[in-house]
Structure 1
Amino acid sequence: MNYFKTALLLAGLTAVFMGVGAVIGGQQGMLIALAVAVAMNVYSYWNSDKIVLKMHQAREVDERTAPEYYGIVRELAARAQLPMPRVFILDEDQPNAFATGRNPDNAAVAATRGLLKLMTREEVAGVMAHELAHIKNRDTLIMTITATLAGAVSMLSNFAFLFGRNRNNPLGIIGVILAMIVAPLAAMVVQMAISRTREYSADRLGGEICGRPMWLADALAKLERGRQIPNDEAEAVPATAHLFIINPLSGARMDSLFSTHPNTQNRIEKLREYAAEIGGKPASLNAPSGPWNRGAIKNEKKRRGPWA
């Protein structure tokens, strides 16, 4: 995602803010909403990653508290020629992960407790390589700002119900109802407008970073099965669902109809095709190769301890 697309996204969400503001208080409400939107856009650019991590009660870890998990991220970041991101764990049983941050120098990756328990070391490497690919592709800025502002739009629509019945409301009760329905849907559409091809791109680059595309393919299969486990934090803030490597929302919710994720099986097939292209050999990033070879993995498994 480039900065032009980011600007278009912010403009679209600002327009939604202004529309709901007009419903709440006419022209004055629209101007106030514009001022609030501009302030939120600036604040979100600098702090949206912190907001999202706090939403999911992410716990930062380091080499001392989660040596193997942290070590995997460090090695992959070196292969991808990226600065070392901050590393977090989400206390959720559902296996999942996401990346956030406005640029590679200010990035973070997070994996759930369930992912670290369920996955092999190789599969964890595949998942984290995918997340680092989002950072390298600079997807994380637009993904994180979308999550923050989409949630704010939904909250603002609730204000329309509480305060939209005043004399400044030019559309009356019809405008209030429209704001309550249309504003959250508009935010979802903006989320969906983020091209699904970014996931395919991150899958391919992730396979290149870890050197074994099938590690990620195997992980995606487990992640899809793991969706049966509820993710309470994601259900509470569905506006952040598109951040995760796989949709964290249960199929019972209407939100699943608005998923920004491609079909998991299609992603696995693409990774299989890529693995066939490179003939099972690790792809080269012209970076330190690290311990991603069978002998080192075997030795690492012998000394494996708890993730966190």
Structure 2
Amino acid sequence: MAGSKFIPDRGLTARMVTTMALLGIVYVAFIIALILVGLPWPVVLLIVVGFALFQYFTSDKLTLYAMGAHEVTPEQAPQLHAVVDRLCAMADMPKPRVAVADTDVPNAFATGHSEKNAVVCATTGILRRLEPEELEAVLAHELSHVAHRDVMVMTIAGFLGVVAGFLTQMGLRFAAFGGGGNRNNNGPSPAVIALAVVVVSGVVWALSFLLTRMLSRYRELSADRAAAYLTGRPSALGSALTKITGDMARIPSRDLRQAEPFNAFFFTPAFSKSGFNMGQLIATHPPVEKRLEQLAAISRQLGTGA
């Protein structure tokens, strides 16, 4: 965050370093375990390293594509670019690319593995609903993710879960449809190897899931604080949060289900109105009440009442 005027957050930095260190240990153990259960080490390295490089360098493009978002020029979205320009000048940070997602789900997110390829995206739903000062507060929240580099950390942290999930699915399918092979050289049968991969991958997925969710909740509070202090209007962010959360109930379930996989990157999570969701068990965001309480405290501290 060198050069940025967003307030530093040592707690966030410590949590990011700790999360990456723990995930690094899990990552190495994952590779060793896959080799020990019988997968050839060249195959393991190809899968793990291949996924890592692919997700790291294409995360911004994949996220924009999955959300139906597209980059916009200053001529196409002059008001949106003007807000981003003003905030980047206030924060003394490089301007990221700007995108718009054509969906009525009112939200915003930032993605990209570095400041150079970062993208800040707003949905058409949030652009229609928020007042200018509310939109500015939300975009300040998203820009703080870029400045704090926690978008990059979440991208790296998330890939381990993707690999583990992929291997779990492949192992289950192989055990179900192709696991009747014979033992080779008195070793375990293919079905046993497949089930062992499933167990190892499942444990790794659970660990990476827990670690990234813990980091995700804290980084949202940190981004709220940074945005509130940068704009000097914590109540504008609180107003946007309240408005967006309330309007989620009026969004079609189909749209919410499509957006749910990206909750960890959103300003506020999109939960479908039917069925079980992980937000009830392990949330990507802290409770709205906690976020509003923090913003109210900052407002009192600033003495603005704004």
TM range (shorter): 0.7 to 0.9
| Matched residue, 1:290 | none
Separation in 1, partners of 2:172, 2:258:
20
Task: Note the alpha carbon deviations across 1:8-58, whole angstroms, 9 max, x for none.
Answer: 3652663586488569xx422565233321232233333322222222221
Q: Does residue 160 in structure 1 map to residue 181 in structure 2?
A: no
Q: Does residue 249 in structure 1 map to residue 271 in structure 2?
A: yes
Separation in 1, partners of 2:33, 2:123:
35
Contact residue 52 and residue 148 of structure 1 kept, 8 A:
no
2:283 to 259, 271, 277: 259
1:272 to 291, 296, 305: 296
Contact residue 67 and residue 101 of structure 2 kept, 8 A:
yes
Flag the 1:17–1:144 CA change in 2: closer, same or farther, 3 A. Answer: same
Residue type of the alignment partner of 2:268: I
- RMSD of equivalent CA atoms: 3.1
Flag the 1:29–1:254 CA change in 2: closer, same or farther, 3 A. Answer: farther
SS for the counterpart of 1:227 is helix
Separation in 1, partners of 2:198, 2:126:
41
Residue type of the alignment partner of 1:119: L
SS for the counterpart of 2:166 is helix
Give me the TM-score of the superposition, normalised by structure 2: 0.79
Q: Does residue 37 in structure 1 map to residue 48 in structure 2?
A: yes
Contact residue 14 and residue 38 of structure 1 kept, 8 A:
no
1:14 to 27, 44, 51: 27
Residue type of the alignment partner of 1:67: P
Separation in 2, partners of 1:151, 1:225:
32
Task: Note the alpha carbon deviations across 1:73-121, whole angstroms, 9 max, x for none.
Answer: 1111111111111111112211111111223333111111111111111
Using the TM superposition, name which of 263-272 and 273-282 deviates more.
Answer: 273-282
| Matched residue, 2:6 | none
1:188 to 209, 234, 238: 209
2:60 to 49, 55, 58: 49
Residue type of the alignment partner of 1:213: P
Moved over 6 A (4+): none
Identity %: 31
Paired residues, number: 280
Flag the 1:215–1:234 CA change in 2: closer, same or farther, 3 A. Answer: same
2:102 to 91, 96, 99: 91
Separation in 2, partners of 1:245, 1:226:
14
Separation in 1, partners of 2:258, 2:29:
22
| Matched residue, 1:300 | none
Separation in 1, partners of 2:255, 2:22:
25
| Matched residue, 2:133 | 122
SS for the counterpart of 1:194 is helix
Separation in 1, partners of 2:28, 2:270:
28
Contact residue 93 and residue 113 of structure 1 kept, 8 A:
yes
Contact residue 90 and residue 112 of structure 1 kept, 8 A:
yes
Separation in 1, partners of 2:39, 2:149:
37
Structure 1 residue 218, shift from structure 2 partner: 0.4
Gapped regions of structure 1 (runs ≥ 5): 283-308
1:199 to 209, 220, 229: 220
Task: Note the alpha carbon deviations across 1:272-308, whole angstroms, 9 max, x for none.
Answer: 11011111188xxxxxxxxxxxxxxxxxxxxxxxxxx
Contact residue 234 and residue 296 of structure 2 kept, 8 A:
yes
Flag the 1:195–1:242 CA change in 2: closer, same or farther, 3 A. Answer: closer
